[in-house]
Structure 1
Amino acid sequence: MNIESALKETMAIDGALGAALVDYESGMSLGTIGGGQELDMEIAAAGNTEVVRAKVRTLATLGITDGIEDILITLGSQYHLIRLISGSHGSLFLYLALDRARANLALARHGLKRIDNELKV
């Protein structure tokens, strides 16, 4: 699955508001979809790059060698889900913003895992 297909599949997850594929080492977004005036996906992608970098540094400082699967940020009306891409993709993560009233968090995590497994960058 290529980047465009992965982002479209991500937006098919119930409650999806916007998604991005991001390289957290460079801070570059490889693609975004959705969002709008209330959710600028470029700004969200850049901001979440800092979240991922901070967590990676913290784990290294603690000597924890286990890899991060995902990071969840819960807001009053939204879930922000960050899935680090596994395998040989380097330092990529898939970011998904969800409408909390319409989303099923377990199914969203399962969907991102499936997309991760099929993504070819």
Structure 2
Amino acid sequence: MAETDVALKEAMTIEGALGVALVDYGSGMALGVMGGGRDLDLAVAAAGNTDLVRAKMRTMEMLGLDEGIEDVLVTLTGQYHVIRPLTSRTGQGLFLYVVLDRSRANLAMARHRLKQIEATLQV
């Protein structure tokens, strides 16, 4: 099982990764970040994406959908933002957030790699 910092480092090896965060969507706080920079404030992005995750979960509840969210994808003109809620017992209430450079990333491979990282993450 990988610890948080190891999982974040692994996520940063995804082709095109610009930044990654492990976020508590109860509080909106980033428990760990890697990458980012002046043009990508991962703490601000973590808080904002918390609202997105909460809204989607409320919507699914109102619709009576008894399914889990595998991931949420936001496609920008130059980036992919992938949000992956964790499903393990120890990961409940957390999500991985990865920002990818759209010109360098393979979205299918990135999603596959995030699934693998999630499976080994021990929080």
After TM superposition, the score normalised by the length of structure 2 is: 0.97
Q: Tell me the equivalent position of 2:76.
A: 75
Q: Distance in 1 between matches of 2:92 and 2:80?
A: 25
The question of whether the paired residues in 1 share the 8 Å contact of 2:29 and 2:43 is answered with: no
**Root-mean-square deviation (CA), in Å?**
0.5
4+ runs deviating over 4 angstroms: none
Q: For each residue in 1:40-82, what CA deviation from the matched residue of structure 2 results, as whole angstroms up to 9, or x when unmatched?
A: 0100111100100000000001110100010000000000000
Structure 1 gap segments, 5+ residues each: none
Structure 2 gap segments, 5+ residues each: none
The question of whether the paired residues in 1 share the 8 Å contact of 2:73 and 2:83 is answered with: yes
How much does 1:17 deviate? 0.3
Q: How many residue pairs were aligned?
A: 121
Q: Distance in 1 between matches of 2:92 and 2:28?
A: 13
How much does 1:100 deviate? 0.1
Give the % identical residues. Answer: 59
Determine helix, strand or coil for the equivalent of 2:77.
coil
Determine helix, strand or coil for the equivalent of 1:48.
helix
Q: Tell me the equivalent position of 1:98.
A: 100
Q: Distance in 1 between matches of 2:79 and 2:14?
A: 14
Determine helix, strand or coil for the equivalent of 1:56.
helix
| Amino acid of the structure 2 residue aligned with 1:8 | K
How much does 1:27 deviate? 1.3
Q: Tell me the equivalent position of 1:119.
A: 121
